[in-house]
Amino acid sequence: MRFYSTNNPQTSVTAEQALFHSMPADKGLYMPTPLPQLGADFFENIADQSLAEIGFAVSKALFGDEISKADLEELTHRAFPFDTPVVEVEPGKIGVLELFHGPSLAFKDVGARYMAGLMSYYSKRSDKEVNILVATSGDTGGAVAMGFHNVPGVRVSILYPSGRVSDLQEKQLTTLGGNVQAFEVDGTFDDCQAIVKQAFVDDELNAHLSLSSANSINIFRLIPQGFYYVRAYGQVRKYGKPVVFSTPSGNFGNLSAGAMIQQMGLPVEHFVAATNLNHVVPTYLETGNYLPKPSIATISNAMDVGSPSNFVRLKHLYGDDYDRFKANVSGYFYDDEQTRAGMKRIHELYDYVACPHTAIGIVGLQAYLRASEKDVVGVTLATAHPSKFKPLVEDVLEMPVDVPERLAILANRTKQSIPIPAQYEAFKESLLQTVA
Question: Does position 384 bind ligand PLP by CB under 6 A?
Answer: yes
Decide if residue 299 touches ligand PLP (CB under 6 A): no
Using CB under 6 A as the binding rule, whether residue 250 contacts ligand PLP is answered as: yes
Nearest alpha-carbon partner for 343 in 402, 295, 268, 396: 396
The answer to the question of residue 249 lying near ligand PLP (CB under 6 A) is yes
* Residue with smaller CB distance to ligand PLP, 107 or 233: 107
Task: Tell me the one-letter amino acid at 54.
Answer: I
C-beta separation of 130 from 119 below 8 A: yes
Nearer to ligand PLP, 56 or 332 (CB): 332
Binding to ligand PLP (CB under 6 A) within 162-221 occurs at: 216
Q: Is 387 in the site for ligand PLP (CB under 6 A)?
A: no
Of the pair 199, 360, the CB lying nearest ligand PLP is at 360
291 by Cβ neighbours in 10 Å (0-12 / 13-18 / 19+) ranks as exposed
Instruction: State the amino acid at position 355 in one-letter form.
Output: C
Least distance between ligand PLP and beta carbon 412 (Å): 24
Calculated CA dihedral for residues 419, 423, 426, 430, nearest 10 degrees: 60
**Least Cβ distance, residue 85 to ligand PLP (angstroms):** 17
Instruction: Indicate whether 303 belongs to the interface with ligand PLP (CB under 6 A).
Output: yes
Q: What is the DSSP letter of 35?
A: P
Q: Which residues contact 34 (CB under 8 A, 6 or more apart)?
A: 1
Stretch that binds ligand PLP, among 159-167, 243-251, 280-288, 425-433 (CB under 6 A): 243-251
What x-and-dash track marks residues 354-373 binding ligand PLP by CB under 6 A? ---x----------------
DSSP 271: E
State which residue has the least CB distance to ligand PLP. 139
The nearer residue to ligand PLP, 55 or 308, going by C-beta atoms, is 308
Smallest gap, in angstroms, from Cβ of residue 312 to ligand PLP?
14
Interaction of residue 252 with ligand PLP, rule CB under 6 A: yes
Each residue 143-162 as x (binds ligand PLP by CB under 6 A) or -, in order, gives --------------------
Beta bridge partners of 68: none
Q: Please tell me whether residue 431 binds ligand PLP under the rule CB under 6 A.
A: no
Angle between helices 139-148 and 108-123 (to 10 degrees): 30
Cα 327 to Cα 116: distance, rounded to the nearest angstrom:
35
The distance of Cα 166 from the centroid of its chain, to the nearest Å, equals 18
Smallest CA-to-CA distance from 246 within 94, 104, 117, 396 is with 94
User: Does residue 254 interact with ligand PLP by CB under 6 A?
Assistant: yes
The answer to whether 99 contacts ligand PLP (rule: CB under 6 A) is no
Per CB under 6 A, the segment of 77-85, 250-258, 332-340, 390-398 that binds ligand PLP is: 250-258
Judged by CB under 6 A, the stretch of 120-128, 144-152, 251-259, 366-374 that binds ligand PLP is 251-259
Total site size for ligand PLP, rule CB under 6 A: 17
Q: Is 383 in the site for ligand PLP (CB under 6 A)?
A: yes
What are the residues whose beta carbons fall under 8 Å from the beta carbon of 64, sequence distance 6 or more? 1
Q: Is the peptide bond before 34 cis (omega within 30 degrees of 0)?
A: yes
Under rule CB under 6 A, which residues in 126-145 are in contact with ligand PLP?
A: 138-139
CB atoms within 10 A of CB 199: 22
Residue of the chain from 94, 106, 420, 431 that contacts ligand PLP (CB under 6 A): 106
Residue 313 found at the interface with ligand PLP (CB under 6 A): no
Based on the number of CB atoms within 10 Å of its own CB, is 149 exposed (0-12), middle (13-18) or buried (19 or more)? middle
User: Residue ranges of the alpha helices (H) in 14-85?
Assistant: 15-21, 51-63, 69-79
Contact indicator for 21, 218 with CB cutoff of 8 Å? no
Kindly list the residues in this chain that would bind ligand PLP in the complex (CB under 6 A). Answer: 106, 108, 138-139, 216, 248-254, 302-303, 357, 383-384
